[in-house]
Amino acid sequence: MSRPSRRRRTARCALLGALLAAFAGCGERTSEPPALAAASGEPPPLAAASEEPPARAVAAVTALRTRLLAALTEALAEDPESAIDACRVEAPRIAREIAAEGVAVGRTSHRVRNPANAPEPWMLPLLDAYRAPPPPPPEPWRTVDLGERGIGYVEPIYLQPLCATCHGEAVEPELLARIRAHYPDDQATGFRVGELRGLFWTVVPRDAAP
């Protein structure tokens, strides 16, 4: 069997980058976070990024990201279509395994691909804060005090040039048709490079905080 051309390998790498950035909107809901702690409906207090995050929260998000990368890399060795399916199928499976270890983890956005990934109430102030003009400096993470239910943790996802393949303002018609076949109510296109795409999130027990 002949080796893939450089152009084909470059295209596959581009698709992989785009799929990784799409975590906030593709796939099923990965695991359920606890309900918002405040009964009044007021948003819970946010912790500044300068504070130390719970190590278990960082580990959960990192595990989701790196394990999905491995799954996509393996699928991409076959063809781009397999990589799309891996993102759709493997992300929920991986997150369920991480959740079995005592945490909830997943992805969300203000414009989701799958409505099952719509943000929970405690995530809404964070999405608003990251999108508020003027754009805030790129903070690596934020935490939310959810009271007895634990600590919420998020990392922002900003649209990178390669991500525009699946989420930009000019998605190829064939690719868009494939996306819409899985997600008829898709809202996750039309993003500009540098715009907030969504959040990785996790909720960990309070005893996991430093």
Residue by residue, DSSP assigns 156-208 as EEEPPGGGHHHHSSS--HHHHHHHHHH-TT-----PPTTSEEEEEEEEE-GGG
- Is 50 exceeded by the pLDDT of residue 202? yes
| Pairwise pLDDT comparison (174 vs 207), residue with the higher score | 174
Q: Which of 31, 54, 164 is nearest to 105 (CA)?
A: 31
Lowest-pLDDT range, 99-108, 124-133, 156-165, 192-201?
A: 156-165
Q: Which of 191, 168, 199, 200 is nearest to 103 (CA)?
A: 200
Q: Which of 20, 200, 36 is nearest to 106 (CA)?
A: 200
% of residues, the chain, pLDDT over 90: 23
| pTM reported for the whole predicted model | 0.74
Mean pLDDT (whole number) for 42-48: 51
Structure confidence at residue 22 (pLDDT): 46
CB–CB of 19/188 below 8 Å? no
Strands laid side by side in the 142-145 sheet: 46-47, 142-145, 151-158, 196-204, 104-108
- Token couple for 25: 């909107």
Query: If DSSP codes are grouped into helix, strand and coil, which group holds residue 83?
Result: helix
Spell out the residues 6+ positions from residue 166 whose beta carbon is closer than 8 angstroms to its own. 18, 19, 21, 22, 175, 179, 188, 189
CB–CB of 113/204 below 8 Å? no
Mean pLDDT (whole number) for 79-96: 76
Burial (Cβ within 10 Å: 0-12, 13-18, ≥19) of residue 195: middle
CB–CB of 19/72 below 8 Å? yes
